[in-house]
Amino acid sequence: MLIRCCKKNKMKWKRLLTRDANVLLKYLVIEGIRKGPSFILPEWKGVHNQLWTWDKGETGIHYLYSELHEFSEVVKRKSLKDKHFAEQYKKLSKNICDNVVNNIKTISKKVDNNLTNQEINDLFKQFCKEYSRLGETIIMPLEEIQKSVLLKLTDTQHLGILTSPDELSLEAKEELERLEIIEEIELKYKNLFLNDVKVVKDELKKFPEIHNKIQKHVKKYCWIPLNFEKEVWNIDFFLNLFRSYLKDFYDYRKRKEELEECHKIREKEKRHLMNQLDEETKILINLLGATAFVRLYRANIFSLAFYEAFPLLKEIGKRVGLPLSILKFYTPIEISEALIKNKKLFIENGKVRKDSFVILVLNNSYNQYEGEEAQKIIKMECSKEKILDYNKVNGMCAYPGKVKGKVRIVFDAREIDNVDKGNVLVCKETNPDLVIVMSKCGAIVTDEGGITSHAAVVSREMKKPCVIGTKIATKVFKDGDLVEVDANKGVVRKI
């Protein structure tokens, strides 16, 4: 019945993002988005309509144009009325994120295989409540505000500078610590690390000082790729990475200087540009900067909170007969029901959802579809980008420059051995998992993202030409294509 209704009244959805995502965590995020950021914006009652699609391994996130416009107007009015709004939003959102992680840690410590299913379910409900709070911190992309601000700037590049975070990103901090380790490896253990990973791993135990440093680094940052449906970074991953640095004669000293100087230079540029703007534009830029900071900070917290929940989720998996890799494609309601009724969930059902599943929220009414029904919804409601030219794509300049190189389409940092220095990285979007690959490339091209996106922020830190928001680069180009990236014009073309 609902499918017929949708067909009769096709909704005007805007596809905001394409992600690699699972059902469990995104269901909880949907719940948070439905409530909205009442902790800072009580006049906004949440997003009442959402469309999330899982289609052939890609997760599409859609919202109504009308609600996005209304949300943007509410946020703009609030910001101009209260000049401290942006800073408060940033501070409170960060506190919520940190509290969620700490609370989930506490929940996981209570997990015991002697607990009853009901007791485990009670812990699971607490986890769900906590994780959904992360969704409440989401302020939708403020594209209309961004466009109005760009009109006040003499150069679109200035928006990226003005909205850049005041502190180094977590990815930059991880990279700096990693570079310190590789510096020590080159000075003291270079010959060892030129061996095969298995040999390195076996021999490393004989050198407790560097072994302990690497182990601590792995433990501190292993969770980074989880929000992007990747496996944790284990010690093998980092050992292979260190080997690639040595093999490629990577100039880590230069990279360290770039990262350390980037923040100082950026702050100086930001102050200079801000002094040239009127008060209203300054307020809106602070708002865009705050939302950019929270978005990137929250992306890492999504991963860390999931990681801290592993003891609980793996215990649930044992009881319902599923590995975590499949359990996460079931909804919280289905998982709770299986626990309470002592039922088993089926692996095949979870696998199917990666390729054909829909969560549709209409006027706060939740509906889900899978298989053929899901495909009907996707076909009716989701328009696909048409490709008119298979030799060129256009996007926005995130960082200027002109580079020629061979294309490498990358989805996972573990593909780093397939990437040669100077390659042009082409991907759907960048994320913390891909920062390591980005550092090796000559230029970066993405399907998605705006001036304040992850790719834009990191490309500026790395000073690498970057074209964002092409929509179709991963479909137009293939591995090995020789291309010219003219980031100044936002154009990438085959040569």
Beta strands in 391-487 (DSSP E): 392-394, 396-399, 402-409, 424-427, 443-446, 466-468, 482-486
Domains in the chain and their CATH numbers? 2-152+283-288+312-381 (no CATH), 392-494 (3.50.30.10)
pLDDT of residue 77 exceeding 70, the answer is: yes
Residue 359, SS3 per DSSP: strand
Distance from C-alpha of 313 to C-alpha of 179, rounded to nearest angstrom: 34
The rounded mean pLDDT for the chain is 92
pLDDT score of 5 more than 70: no
State residue 415's pLDDT score: 86
Residue (of 285, 27, 312) closest to 159 by Cα position: 285
Where do the DSSP E strands lie in 42-195? 50-55, 58-64
Helical (H) or strand (E) element with 456: helix 454-462
For residue 265, is pLDDT > 90?
no
Q: Is the pLDDT of residue 285 over 60?
A: yes
Other Cβ atoms closer than 10 A to 322:
24
Instruction: Give 120-151 pLDDT, tens digit per residue.
Output: 999 999 999 999 999 999 998 899 999 999 99
**292 contacts 452 by C-beta, under 8 angstroms:** yes
pLDDT at 43 over 90: yes
> 302 and 93 in contact (C-beta within 8 Å)?
no
- Of 9-18, 212-221, 378-387, highest mean pLDDT: 212-221
Question: pLDDT exceeding 90 applies to what percent of the chain?
Answer: 75
The answer on pLDDT for 8 being more than 90 is no
pLDDT classification of 429: cutoffs 50, 70, 90: confident
pLDDT of residue 331: 98
How confident is the model at residue 392, as a pLDDT?
Answer: 94
Instruction: Give the model's confidence band at 6: pLDDT under 50 very low, under 70 low, under 90 confident, else very high.
Output: low
Query: What is the pLDDT at residue 355?
Result: 93
Angle between helices 85-109 and 117-136 (to 10 degrees): 170
Residue carrying the six token digits 């030409």: 465
pLDDT number for residue 281: 97
* pLDDT tier at 341, thresholds 50, 70, 90: very high
* Residue 362, pLDDT score: 96
What's the rounded mean pLDDT across residues 101-123? 98
pLDDT greater than 80 at residue 476: yes
**Three-state secondary structure call for residue 221:** helix
Query: Among candidates 20, 106, 22, which has minimal Cα distance to 308?
Result: 106
Cα(121)–Cα(107) distance, rounded to whole angstroms?
A: 12
At 73, is the pLDDT very low, low, confident or very high (cuts 50, 70, 90)?
very high
Token readout for 147 is 């466009």
pLDDT, tens digit, for every residue of 142-196? 999 999 999 999 988 899 889 988 878 888 889 899 999 999 999 999 999 999 9
Name which residue leads in pLDDT, 24 or 384.
24
**pLDDT tens sequence across 298-332:** 999 999 999 999 999 999 999 999 999 999 999 99
3-state secondary structure of 394: strand
Residue 99: its pLDDT value, please? Answer: 99
Q: What is the pLDDT of residues 87-102, one digit of tens each?
A: 999 999 999 999 999 9
* Band of residue 290 on the pLDDT scale cut at 50, 70, 90: very high
- Binning the chain into helix, strand and coil, the percentages to the nearest 5 are 55, 15, 30
